[in-house]
Amino acid sequence: MTITDLYIQLFGKGAIKDGDVISMAEHGRVGGTNLGQGFKFSKEADMADKIQTSGTDTYVAFSIPGTAQATALWQALKIDTSGTVTWADGNSNFDNVATDLTILAYS
3-state helix, strand and coil shares in percent for the chain, rounded to the nearest 5: 20, 25, 55
Of 4, 20, 12, 28, the residue nearest 85 (C-alpha):
12
Give me the residue spans of the domains in the chain. Answer: 1-42, 45-107
Q: Give pLDDT tens digits for 41-69.
A: 444 557 778 999 999 999 999 998 889 99
Q: Is the pLDDT of residue 5 over 80?
A: no
Distances, alpha carbon 47 to alpha carbons 23, 44, 65, 94, in Å: 21, 9, 6, 12
Compute the mean pLDDT over every residue in the chain, rounded to the nearest whole number: 76
The pLDDT, as a whole number, for residue 47 is 77
Query: Residues of the chain with pLDDT > 90: what percent?
Result: 49
**pTM for the predicted model, two decimal places:** 0.59
What is the rounded distance in angstroms from the CA atom of residue 84 to the CA atom of residue 91? 14
